[in-house]
């Protein structure tokens, strides 16, 4: 079975700046991985390359045996970016319906109802998320990442801007995705997901400095 996520010599260079040094990494199906590193360590660059949003300067990335960014890879991978990307002119309900139908999700209505309820958005479904606060926009973004079918869930700094109930709901949803068999990769400065992860990948200045199990104390040391 191919790896859920595979990076072979994956590199990103901007002029003189090496955002990601050649990285070899294989994440197995169903793994829960936490990716840690300080600002500018290369986490977001890695995630945007496996999502197909950034083109590698060298090497290659694969998703479920398909080249990253290809149509089948896009069907398998759901990417939740650090900054919510929303339409100005669609309500929350319209966003969910559009994304679900665009990804040809089946039986998405109960899932949509569950997600808005779990994230505390039920009373805002007719409002325009583009005019929400940062936290509510983040919750909308989470719902959009989870409404569509996926095998690999790649999440970048998901806890930013969330209140305590939001953080708790997100952790529960990430657990649920993993229990349902998805591969979950979370990049975060916070240590909240560390105890739930089976593996920790740490980057520093674009280079891999740790790959294996890690405690919260290890993570704090690796990030500092």
Partner 1 sequence: MSASADPATVALAELTQARRRRRVAQIDAFEGLYRAYLTFFVGGLAVLLLSNLAGGTKVSPATLDQVRRHGPAAIGLAVAFFMAIGLRSGGRGGPLALDKADVRHVLLAPVDRSVALRRPAVHQLRFAALTGVGVGAVSGLNASHRLSGAVVGWIAAGAVTGLLAVVGAMGVALVASGRRLPRPVAGLLALVVLGWAGADLATGRTTSPFTLLGGLALWPLAVHPVDLLGAGVVLALPVVGLAGVGGTSLEASELRARLVGALRFAATLQDVRTVLVLRRQLSQERPRPRPWLRIRGWKPAQVTPRPGTGGLAVDTLGRGPVKGWPPVAAIIRRSLQGLARWPVQRLGRLVLLSVGGGLAATVVWRGTTAMVVVVGLCAFLAALDAIEPLSQDADHPDRVFAVPRPPGQVRLALLVGPVVAMVVLGFVAIGAAILAGAPPLLALQVGAPLTLPVAVLACGGAAVSTLLGPSSMGSGSSLLLPPETAGIAVAFRAAGPPALTIVGVLPLLAGRSASVMGQSAGAAVARTAVFPLLTLGVLVFAFIRFREELRVFMEEAKQGAAGRKTAADGK
Between CA 213 and CA 222 the distance in angstroms is 12
Between CA 80 and CA 154 the distance in angstroms is 6
Per CB under 8 A, which of residues 32..61 are in contact with partner 1? 51-53
3-state class of 50 per DSSP? helix
Joined together, the tokens standing for residue 146 give 């989870």
Question: Which lies closer to partner 1 via its Cβ, residue 176 or residue 190?
Answer: 176
Out of 13, 18, 21, 128, name the contact with partner 1 by CB under 8 A.
Answer: 128
Q: Does 97 bind partner 1 (CB under 8 A)?
A: yes
Joined together, the tokens standing for residue 3 give 């790896």
Q: Is 180 left (phi over 0), alpha (psi -120 to 50) or beta?
A: alpha
User: Pattern 103-122, binding to partner 1, x per CB under 8 A?
Assistant: xxxxxxxxxxxxxxxx---x
Interface ranges with partner 1 (CB under 8 A): 29-30, 51-53, 64, 69, 71-72, 74-76, 78-79, 81, 85, 87-90, 93-94, 96-98, 101-118, 122, 125, 127-128, 130-131, 146-151, 173, 176-177, 180-182
């Amino acid at each position: 079975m191919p790896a859920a996520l595979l990076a072979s010599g994956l590199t990103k260079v901007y002029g003189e700046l090496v955002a990601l040094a050649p990285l070899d990494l294989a994440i197995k199906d169903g793994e829960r991985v936490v990716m840690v590193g300080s600002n500018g360590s290369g986490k977001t660059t890695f995630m945007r390359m496996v999502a197909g949003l950034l083109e590698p300067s060298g090497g290659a990335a694969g998703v479920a045996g398909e080249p990253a960014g290809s149509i089948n890879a896009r069907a398998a991978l759901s990417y939740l970016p650090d900054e919510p990307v929303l339409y100005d002119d669609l309500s929350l309900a319209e966003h969910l319906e559009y994304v679900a139908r665009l990804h040809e999700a089946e039986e998405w209505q109960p899932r949509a109802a569950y997600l808005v309820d779990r994230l505390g958005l039920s009373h805002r479904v007719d409002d325009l998320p583009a005019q929400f606060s940062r936290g509510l926009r983040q919750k909308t973004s989470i719902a959009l990442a989870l409404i569509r079918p996926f095998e690999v869930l790649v999440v970048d700094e998901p806890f930013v801007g969330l209140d305590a109930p939001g953080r708790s709901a997100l952790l529960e949803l990430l657990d649920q995705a993993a229990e349902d068999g998805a591969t979950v990769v979370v990049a975060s400065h916070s240590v909240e997901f560390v105890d739930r992860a089976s593996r920790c990948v740490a980057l520093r200045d674009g280079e891999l400095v740790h790959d294996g199990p890690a405690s919260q104390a290890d993570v704090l040391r690796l990030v500092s």
